[in-house]
Structure 1
Amino acid sequence: MNPLHNFLQTVDNLVWGPPLLLLLVGTGFYLTIRLGFIQLRYLPLALGYLFKGNDKDSKADGDVSSFAALCTALSATIGTGNIVGVATAIKLGGPGALFWMWLAALFGMATKYAECLLAVKYRETDANGQMIGGPMYYLEKGAGQKWLAKLFAVFALGVACFGIGTFPQANAIVDAAALSFSVPREITVIILTILVATVTLGGVKSISSVASKVVPFMAIFYVVACSMVLIAQYSAIPEAIQLVISSAFTGHAASGGFVGAGIMLAIQSGIARGVFSNESGLGSAPMAAAAAKTDSCVEQGLVSMTGTFFDTIIICTMTGLTLVVTGAWQSDFAGAAMTSYAFANGLHASTFGPMLVTIGLMFFAFTTILGWNYYGERCVTYLFGVKAILPYKIFFLVLIAAGAFMKLDMIWLIADIVNGLMAIPNLIGLILLREVIITETRQFFDQLAAKSSTSLKESAI
């Protein structure tokens, strides 16, 4: 292993070490307490806002519906982390890592609510007439920390261009097409680049339009695929859940191809991979939320927090339980290969099972490219203005084409590092603006209670 790889691995371990994980979970825990467990009390209300009609939204400021804004955020969030990340967490920390992933998601919902609330509150209109917002704007306009805003934009642009947004996703799609369907890499690259160009050159409305159709489809497809395995292995589900909970507090001894893990490794791998998957606290989703047609920052915050619920509580859980009930977590496989093995073993189908994983992986990787293309565009606009958007999009397409032929050992490390660094200025902003978050929330629910009381009185009369 070369010295540069060792150096990057050291930096990655430092960035995603206990301090950042404590800051991420600690911020979520603080907001959960101060907001009165908003993610539990008002999840039904949030889901109601998500699936309601858009008549009211059409009259509000914004570029896309609340649902489309959420799908744009989910297009970047629901990705290879849901397949590869969960397998990695359980391989490192045992089944107990899934429990800590749930806990990180629970507190992460409060964090996602807060950051998306601020995104709508402090958003503005760019020179092209589009809504623009996110951590850059609430750090500068709300917290008065312009240097932190620029730092966040640079880190996020790095993730979009040289990290999760390009190389790993393009490589995953090309590899999957070659291995499962015997499609030459060059053909896949040409098709992928044309598809990405067709969607992304149309801007946020084009991206959100595709995302609002593809994201629900791919999520349902993958959940149904996992359900097929779980139904086939239904007798093992109670024991699997018991194993997940008990291992979270005791660790797990070596068994099969699993080398064993203590409780601290279960906690660290579960929280780190959970955050990496749902991106709560990293500051990415607020950039999509800012484009939503809404006149209420609290309402959009509620809608946005459902993203973490769908990503981790539902999709990551399905992957995790599939790995545990089939015994794949004890195999010698890792990453996507472990998930493929779980499907093959669970469905007793050596070709059909892995094919489902491959199709899911390709959809997830493609939509991640779309989501991160938009995030990069917002950061470029903040740093250099709207004139830089077209050069950025062309450069992004070149990176997609090049990414299919790159070796990913160090690329994943660089992506991991810059992704973690995004979180630091964003979390500082949430802490500095905590009273704004709490005040806006209280005012909204006070008004909601008053309206409800008035309606009851009128109905009684």
Structure 2
Amino acid sequence: MDLLQLLEKVDSFVWGPPLLILLVGTGAYLTFRLGLLQILKLPLALKYVFSREKDQSQQGDVSPFAALCTALSATIGTGNIVGVATALKAGGPGALFWMWLAAFFGMATKYAEGLLAVKYRVVDENGQMSGGPMYYLERGLGNRFLARMFAVFGIGVAFLGIGTFPQVNAITEATQGAFGLPKLLTAAVLTVLVAMVTLGGIRRISETAKRIVPFAAVFYIAASVMILVLNADKVPATVSLIIQSAFAPEAAFGGALGVTMLMAMRNGVARGVFSNESGLGSAPIAAAAARTNSCVRQGLISMTGTFFDTIVICTMTGIVLVMTGAWNTDGLAGADMTNAAFNMGLGTEIGQYIVTIGLVFFAFTTILGWNYYGERCTEYLVGVKGIRPFKIVYILLVASGAFLKLDTIWLLADIVNGLMAVPNLIGLLGLSGVVVAETRAYFAARSGAGETCCAR
């Protein structure tokens, strides 16, 4: 058995039915207990995203919007372009439906994560905010073992998973294919840029994310909408195929290929989590840095991250892939598949340049965001003295990420992602009563005396 086969077996075990049930089940449970908050309070959450808190004296390192952009910088990445293509290739168009379902429940999960992150955050020795699952697992749930387990897996995801290899590989492959740039040159420039930003800490990372993420997202969405408008007559049939093949994959490409509903579900949920990170426990690390006087308010803002990432951007990619038939074209995979889909949708080769530009921006900011996540996990385990060594190793891994095989990269990413989610989901379930109590208290106070801080 070679390394790839071993990783495939480990990946299948980690992302088996138990974890899928735990991920979606946690979101469903929170959705029920919070009374469909992700639907009823989404307008308020979107309002909060684009407004400022009146009191600017609150503790925190960055604005709530900058904290959201930092979280989005880590979530909007290759998963939105390469990950969606990979999911559809393996699970058929129905995988996109399962992405939607996972994202719907994931919004409730992300809300709870953001709320708990602010409620249980602390100030480190450098005067910076530290928060996230490791803190609400220890300070809220009283379980230091799970907290340490999460931090170890979080560093693993930063080093081996979402943070480095898939992003760097995607950038170098895309720029070489679209612009003919040598991988070595791209990797060198990318490494220098990552070092310049990440060594400046959360403020420089958040400022960079605040500028790049909205621009890149609007740019990519506008191009996708243009394709949908140009091919408007195909949209109804595309959506119908996506929904139908979620439950009967043979509707898309025949049972002879062995594609089952479980495969569509597994690929949709796994790639959805890779993209929006709901339940993974990463986004609350950024949420904890926000200047805010309310954990509930920041939870609502955090919740929109999943909405923007999956319901909006992944949907755009998925519909274009299915509509053009690129998802089922032999010889195409990953970014090449999405490039082909945009070329077909626009009727010109300019599509591949649009995808490449979007991919480069998305992947670059993901590298920055995961540097911060890994830094906070390191700080939790060994203190502020571990931050600089972590950054050095991280930058070295970025430099080497362009030269690994794609199959190995995705498998490593999937495995460490799944391991990271387990302690976080246990914490969310164990602290669900706290989430519900804080939510009820907030909306009761909001209708009366105004917004209040979460009780410590």
**TM-score normalized by the length of structure 1:** 0.94
Cα distance between partner residues in 1 of 2:261 and 2:174:
34
Mean Cα displacement is larger for which, 297-306 or 182-191?
Answer: 182-191
Deviations 1:276-328 (A, max 9, x none): 21110000001000000001000000000000000010001101111122122
User: Aligned runs of 1:137-216 on 2, under 5 Å?
Assistant: 137-216=135-214
- Equivalent of 1:370 in 368, 371, 390: 368
Equivalence for 2:300: 302
Deviations 1:340-367 (A, max 9, x none): 1111111111x21111111111111111
The answer to whether the 8 Å contact 1:256/1:330 transfers is: no
Cα distance between partner residues in 1 of 2:306 and 2:256:
29
Is 1:6 aligned to 2:5, yes or no? yes
2:14 partner letter: V
Deviations 1:387-412 (A, max 9, x none): 11112112211111122233343233
Q: Which runs of 5+ in 2 are unaligned?
A: 451-456
- Using the TM superposition, give the Cα deviation of residue 380 of structure 1 relative to its aligned residue in structure 2, in angstroms: 0.8
1:376 partner letter: G
1:200 partner letter: T
Cα distance between partner residues in 2 of 1:329 and 1:407:
21
Cα distance between partner residues in 1 of 2:166 and 2:256:
26
2:58 partner letter: A
Equivalence for 1:28: 27
User: Aligned runs of 1:375-394 on 2, under 5 Å?
Assistant: 375-394=373-392
Q: SS at 1:294's partner residue?
A: coil
User: Aligned runs of 1:278-289 on 2, under 5 Å?
Assistant: 278-289=276-287
Counterparts in 2 of 1:337 and 1:179: CA distance versus 1, 3 Å? closer
Equivalence for 1:46: 45
Equivalence for 2:110: 112
Equivalence for 1:348: 347
The answer to whether the 8 Å contact 2:78/2:166 transfers is: no
Cα distance between partner residues in 1 of 2:166 and 2:268:
21
Equivalence for 1:312: 310
Counterparts in 2 of 1:178 and 1:132: CA distance versus 1, 3 Å? same
Deviations 1:85-116 (A, max 9, x none): 11122222222221211111110000000011
Deviations 1:416-461 (A, max 9, x none): 1111100000001011111111111110011112248xxxxxxxxx
Counterparts in 2 of 1:198 and 1:257: CA distance versus 1, 3 Å? farther
Q: SS at 1:178's partner residue?
A: helix
- Using the TM superposition, give the Cα deviation of residue 13 of structure 1 relative to its aligned residue in structure 2, in angstroms: 0.5
For the aligned residue pairs, the C-alpha RMSD in angstroms reads: 1.7
2:321 partner letter: L
Deviations 1:70-89 (A, max 9, x none): 00011110110111111122
Is 1:127 aligned to 2:125, yes or no? yes
Mean Cα displacement is larger for which, 286-295 or 231-240?
Answer: 231-240
- Equivalent of 2:83 in 82, 85, 92: 85
Mean Cα displacement is larger for which, 286-295 or 92-101?
Answer: 92-101
Counterparts in 2 of 1:257 and 1:21: CA distance versus 1, 3 Å? closer
The answer to whether the 8 Å contact 1:254/1:260 transfers is: no
Is 1:359 aligned to 2:357, yes or no? yes
2:4 partner letter: H
Counterparts in 2 of 1:256 and 1:226: CA distance versus 1, 3 Å? farther
2:133 partner letter: P
**TM-score normalized by the length of structure 2:** 0.95
The answer to whether the 8 Å contact 2:116/2:435 transfers is: yes
The answer to whether the 8 Å contact 1:88/1:335 transfers is: yes
Counterparts in 2 of 1:257 and 1:338: CA distance versus 1, 3 Å? farther
- Using the TM superposition, give the Cα deviation of residue 256 of structure 1 relative to its aligned residue in structure 2, in angstroms: 9.5
Equivalence for 2:453: none
The answer to whether the 8 Å contact 2:245/2:251 transfers is: no
1:178 partner letter: Q
User: Aligned runs of 1:259-338 on 2, under 5 Å?
Assistant: 259=257, 261-332=259-330, 333-338=332-337
Cα distance between partner residues in 2 of 1:109 and 1:254:
29
- Using the TM superposition, give the Cα deviation of residue 254 of structure 1 relative to its aligned residue in structure 2, in angstroms: 5.5
Equivalence for 1:99: 97
Cα distance between partner residues in 2 of 1:157 and 1:297:
25
Mean Cα displacement is larger for which, 443-452 or 150-159?
Answer: 443-452
Equivalence for 2:446: 448
1:34 partner letter: R
Cα distance between partner residues in 2 of 1:258 and 1:312:
30
Mean Cα displacement is larger for which, 364-373 or 263-272?
Answer: 263-272
- Using the TM superposition, give the Cα deviation of residue 204 of structure 1 relative to its aligned residue in structure 2, in angstroms: 0.3
State the identity as a percent. Answer: 63
- Using the TM superposition, give the Cα deviation of residue 257 of structure 1 relative to its aligned residue in structure 2, in angstroms: 13
Mean Cα displacement is larger for which, 408-417 or 228-237?
Answer: 408-417
The answer to whether the 8 Å contact 1:258/1:331 transfers is: no
1:143 partner letter: L
The answer to whether the 8 Å contact 2:53/2:292 transfers is: no
The answer to whether the 8 Å contact 1:156/1:422 transfers is: yes
Mean Cα displacement is larger for which, 255-264 or 74-83?
Answer: 255-264
Q: Which runs of 5+ in 1 are unaligned?
A: 453-461
1:46 partner letter: A
Is 1:432 aligned to 2:430, yes or no? yes
Equivalence for 1:339: 338
Cα distance between partner residues in 2 of 1:131 and 1:315:
30
2:445 partner letter: Q
The answer to whether the 8 Å contact 1:258/1:329 transfers is: no
Cα distance between partner residues in 2 of 1:283 and 1:70:
14
Equivalence for 2:419: 421
Q: SS at 1:52's partner residue?
A: coil
The answer to whether the 8 Å contact 1:283/1:423 transfers is: yes
Aligned residues: 449
- Using the TM superposition, give the Cα deviation of residue 245 of structure 1 relative to its aligned residue in structure 2, in angstroms: 2.0
Equivalence for 1:459: none
Mean Cα displacement is larger for which, 200-209 or 248-257?
Answer: 248-257
Q: SS at 1:280's partner residue?
A: coil
